[in-house]
Chains A and B, each alone.
Chain A
Amino acid sequence: MNINLTMLMQAAVFVALIIFCAKLIWPPLMRAIEARQKEIADGLAAAEQGKKDLSAAEKRIEEMLLKARTQAQDIVSQGERQKVESVEKGRTEAREEAARIVAAARAEVEQEFSRAKEKLRDQVAELAVAGAAKILEREVDPKTHAALLTALKQQL
């Protein structure tokens, strides 16, 4: 066991190696490790976020689906109601129209009737006047008179 210059030289080698290691080996490798760790952590966080987003989206989809379904149901039932309503309305309208038409026709008939009556009355009057004129012009002949009366009757 003899201590000599070897010790100092070995110490120099050791210190040189420490400096080499601390400057050229440790920092870049540690950086690489840390960068990778960060990447992995980020990736895991992103995956977690994605999972969360996915479940949120699923929930939203479910909500939307539910809403759409109820909406569709509403629309269908509304349509149903509308259909019934419109049918009812059509029926009522048709009935009213029919009644109106009937009423109009009736009124027209009435009018026509009264007009005809009026006309008839006029004609009767005319005929009466004409008959009277004829009677007045000629001697009243019962036979002729009777014939006239028959004609009048026929004309009425």
Chain B
Amino acid sequence: MTTESGLTPSSYMQHHLTHLAQPEHGGFWTVHVDTLLTTIVVAFLVFGFLWLVTRAATAGVPSKRQALVEMLLSAINNQVKEIYHGKSPWVAPIAMTAFVLVFFLNCMDFLPIDVMAKGVSTVGGEHAAWRFVPTADVNTTFALALSVFLMMIYYSIKVKGIGGWIHELFNAPFGAHFLLWIPNFLMNIVEYLSKPLSHSLRLYGNMYAGELIFLLLGMWAANSWLGVTLGGLLDLGWAIFHILIVTLQAYIFMMLTVVYLSMAHEHH
């Protein structure tokens, strides 16, 4: 893309940050086809692999693939057990799904942006847009965080009952005095709003920023062969560092999910 004439840094960035939206100006009813399809394909591959491993799973001597998956499973299970002391059999699978999905969607960031963009423009025409990192789309992170948020409310009501939950909204964290009902409620509203916001925006911010830095480094290639070389080296460095961010963000997302769900189980 960088060698095309009439390309400015801002048009380069803009091109890379445009979603393939259908319908193009549909307001709320727009769908980011790239985000959705990438997610579905990645999920299909990863969870398909997990399913294949599970189908061949044995309690005897495990194959290497099974050992790998079991390692992931028991690591997540241990983390969940440390934080969550309830009995719901769903929390650990939710944590696992969150981790695996977020991790592999984050990993799409390792695809070299300009090579992928070249591929996209070859297939779909010069102005075809396709963003490969679903977690750099705020829709994805909000979708995950809001799902967790709803589960949180579901578990709160399930454990404490609707009355207990409403009682808690007005009587915690400050105390049960009637003068404190309003401050308590406001505090809880802030808490309930901040959870999905920080949950989703942390992941979104990290992945979006990571993508931006790849783009900025990609622009070095517009200068000369020196720029290409230096830009390539920096790109490599950032990609290596990004392995840490990708894993860490997926881990943080999973941990927050577990923490929120276990907080929903707690009585104040």
Residues of A with Cβ closer than 8 Å to B? 1-11, 13-15, 17-18, 20-22, 24-33, 35-36, 39
Contacts and interface: CB of A to CB of B under 8 A. Distances in A.
Contacts of A7: 139-140, 142-143, 146
16 contacts: A1-B138, A4-B31, A5-B29, A6-B140, A7-B142, A9-B31, A10-B139, A11-B143, A11-B146, A14-B97, A18-B147, A21-B47, A26-B96, A32-B58, A32-B70, A36-B59
Chain A interface mostly: helix
Contact of A20 (B40, B47, B53, B69): B47
A17 B97 contact: yes
A22 B90 CA distance: 6
A32 B97 contact: no
Contacts of B147: 11, 14-15, 18
A1 B136 CA distance: 10
Interface in B132-183: 134, 137-140, 142-144, 146-147
A8 B28 CA distance: 11
Interface string B27-63: 1111110011001100100010011011001111010
B6 interface: no
B207 interface: no
A1 B140 CA distance: 11
B94 interface: yes
B29 A39 contact: no
B36 A13 contact: yes
Contacts of B146: 7, 11
B105 to A, nearest CB: 10
